[in-house]
Structure 1
Amino acid sequence: MSLRRGDLVTVAAKGPYTAKPRPALVVQASETLPYRDSVTVCLLTADLIDAPLFRVRIEAAAANGLQQPSDVMADKVLTVPRSVVSPKPFGRLNASDLERVEVALRFWLGL
């Protein structure tokens, strides 16, 4: 599987935030992805809330593959086994949206 930072994938891990398969954004550095059997992602939700410091609203578009507006949850960063990540991304964020996610991650993580 060839993933890149900014890809949108489906994660099917069992856990407190992943009881069902859900969309996620790959946030791990692209350069490190080939060397690990895990992938760091931010989960997405269609349960939209107004929290712009750590939830980034992404509108549905053909390029990103989303069917409805969704929030990237910078407060829900997970590292999951590669085996629970869909083998092919269903979409990709554009550079502007990815930059907004990076700002939210820096805020949430205090970087």
Structure 2
Amino acid sequence: MKTATVHIPSVDGYFGVAARCFQLDPPRTIDGHAHEYVTVVVQQRVGPQAAEVKVYPAQASGASASLQLTRRVGSCTLDGDPDIEGCYWIALQLLGGYLVRAQDA
């Protein structure tokens, strides 16, 4: 079963209302490279631009694993205000059907 474990509950440095880093098991191939971590960012509506959920391949620190912040598979736009936890869930489903696990205590 594919699982996404909360690795860093709140990652700083991204534009949006929330960003969370997940550890993927098994790693997900993105742009031809296996990535063990992804950071999912939830961005509120900005003017006429719809709210968005953005998925970035990440390092263990939660920082982007690539030089450019280009949205990857799992990203989507929203109709209305974002439900933060629901946004994480839908992004991980679109990324490949990962079951979300809480961070180990």
Q: Whose helix proportion is higher, 1 or 2?
A: 1
TM-score for the superposition, normalised by structure 1: 0.33
Q: Whose strand proportion is higher, 1 or 2?
A: 2
TM-score for the superposition, normalised by structure 2: 0.35
Structure of higher RCO (CA pairs closer than 8 Å, 6+ residues apart)? 1
